[in-house]
Structures are given as C-alpha cells and as structure tokens.
Amino acid sequence: MSQAVYLDYNATARVRPEAAAAVAHALEVGGNPSSVHAAGRAARALVEQAREAVAAMIAAPVSTVIFTSGGTEANALAIESAVAAGARRLIVSAIEHDSVRETARAQGVAVETLPVTRDGIADLDWLRARLRAWDPADGQPFVALMLANNETGVIQPVAEAAELVRAAGGWLHVDAVQAAGKMPIDSRALGADTLSVSAHKIGGPQGVGALTFGPRATMSRRQHGGGQERGRRGGTENVLGISGFGAAASIPVSPDRNSAWRDAAAARLKSVGAVIMGEAAPRLANTLCVATPELASDLQVMGLDLARVMVSAGSACSSGKVKASPVLQAMGQGDLAGCAIRVSGGWDTTEGDWNRFVEAWFEVHGRHAARRRPVGANA
C-alpha cells in the first residue's frame, strides 16, 4: 500500500524533529520553573530561551510575550482584555477564526462585521468610514483582523488597517496563527497592538501558544492563580510545550517550495471546472482552497481519505464536522461554500505529494461525474 499523503498543515503541522528533541530534553530536565532550586532554574531557563525565540520570530520585545495554552486562548486574552479596558463595541472581520468570532460574541457587547471582497480581502474603505463615525460612548475602537486566512490563505492588509485604527485611537488585534512560520512577521511594523501565534501550526507541539502586546494595549489577567508569566497568566507553565515551541520558532522562514506545486495542481483542477478561492489575492504559498460545483466537500474529503490523501473542508476546528464555510459565504461564494476543500502543504511536503493529491482528486471527480451521467449517455 502506498504511503499516506498529509496535506492538512493548516490544521496542524507535522512536528519538526528539532521540536521533538526539545520536548524530550525538557522531560529530562524536569522541575517547576517557579521553583528556586537547581531543577526549577533549569526549567525556567528553557522557558525563557523559548520566549526569546518566539519573540524573535514575530519581532516583538521579549518582555511582551505571554505563553498561553494555544492560539484560541491568546485570541481570547486579547479580546477580553480590550473589553475589560472599556471597549463596548467590537469590529471583527468576516473571515476571522471561530476563536475570535465566538469570543467576541460572548463578551456581552456589540459586535460588528468588517466585510471582505470577493477575493477575501478586508474592505478598508468600509473600515475607514466606520471608524470616522465612531461614537466615543462605545469606548476605544477594537478591530480584529487576521494576518492570513486559515481556509483560503489570503493575506490581509494589516499594516494599512493598523494606520486607520491607530488614527482613531483604537486597538488592533492580529491573529497571526496561520501566518507564522509561513511568512516573515514583524508585529510592530504591522502595527498590531496584540498578536497571537500557536506552536502546532509551525511544527511545534499542540497545546501551547503566545500573545504579544504593544504599549497601547492594556492587558488584564484572565486566568488567575500564581504570579506566572509576570503576573499576566496564572498556572504552571507548560515547559515541555514551550520548549518545543521555541525550537520550532527558531527555524528561519525560507521560500516555500509548495507555491509552484500548488499552482500546478490548481491549473489541473481548473481544467475540469474547479474554482480557486482567493486566486487573485496574495496568498500563503502553501494553501489551496478549491471548490468544485455540485461535488460536496465531505464527499471530496472522504474520497481522498480512502485514497490515503488527507485534506480538510474549511477550518479543522469544528469538532470533525463538515459544514459550509462562513469564510466563503462572506466572500460572496455561498453557492460554492459547501463544495470547497482546503489543501495545505508544509515543511516536509514534496512535489510527489501534490501530484498524488491531484491524481486521487481526479478519481473522486470522475466517479462523481459517472454517477451524474444520464443513463445511456456515451462514456
């Protein structure tokens, strides 16, 4: 049987050997990083080394990096801190991850949606007009705009949005979870007041993330307990996960070979009517979101899985459910939202993996076409 092909890196990346080695080393070190004895100091050193690596990855001051349990908690910490600081109305882009959308909705304040174009790019004209009309009674404007979308790979004009938000005296939160490791990130040059990242998207272990904050953001401790993370997040640090995170973050971002392989695959799929989402916009080099009219997403995912090719339908954070993508619906692609799959390569993906995907996809497409062919029609 042929080896399985993994093309779901946007859901979670395969763990890099460097990260696995760092986790194994941390297991040997042991110790609570809050303890003052030798084992505790050794554990603390691992945490702080990782903090420096993560800070360097996103060009942030080391003192502003808070380790969390993942990107979801990092996003929540930013949003909840903004509301605690007085925000009474939140602007959230239509393509944000569920962890941003749902956290915003749970705050008990008004939430508005920043629309996107058909290519999946935030509508900055809308944002400019909305901020000009801002009511001071709603507190400091808060805007959430991700750096790169997890489903389409479309890269957002974050720096331009930051200029608008800053001019209005607002707070810009940037979910950079999907962008990290795939493109250079300078949190301060982007103008982010808070920015979140996650280890398992860059080849580190699952269950650890980080948030960085700028001088205009007022952070509030949402998880209480001891004085860990400089008093900003209670609870013993996940030394194993943090160590692996640091190791993965230390690997430089290099040109992604997946780009050419993805584009070649897209061209072949388009030859039979498939539609590439966000094709005209700047995208992450590893990501292909493709919709096939009248061929449901779940049938594509299951058919490919039977052929030992692993992809996903939209976000992988929906408890295994396959549902029409709200991101594609926001892009005005509602007629195709239930027919799209996401294919995403990573650090150990090969050209052969992309070719296997295309071959398996054509088999799935061919079986579907045969079932739809009228009885008696020519083959």
Angle between helices 351-372 and 297-306 (to 10 degrees): 120
Which pLDDT tens digit goes with each residue over 199-214?
A: 999 999 999 999 999 9
Q: Are 222 and 81 in contact (CB under 8 A)?
A: yes
Could you please state the CATH topology (level 3) that the domain comprising 5-14+255-372 is classified under.
Answer: Aspartate Aminotransferase, domain 1 (3.90.1150)
pLDDT score, position 231:
87
Is 370's pLDDT higher than 90? no
Rg (CA), the chain: 22
pLDDT score, position 218:
95
What value does the mean pLDDT take over residues 268-285? 97
What's the CATH code, domain 17-249?
A: 3.40.640.10
Query: Which residues does the annotation mark as catalytic?
Result: 317
Is 326's pLDDT higher than 80? yes
Is 315's pLDDT higher than 80? no
Cα distance between residue 96 and residue 369, in whole Å: 34
Residue 2 pLDDT class (50, 70, 90 cuts): confident
pLDDT score, position 252:
95
* Sheet strands (E) in 130-240: 142-144, 171-175, 194-198, 209-213
Which pLDDT tens digit goes with each residue over 91-129?
A: 999 999 999 999 999 999 999 999 999 999 999 999 999
Domain ranges of the chain: 5-14+255-372, 17-249
pLDDT score, position 368:
87
Mean pLDDT for the chain? 94
How many residues does this entry show for the chain?
A: 379
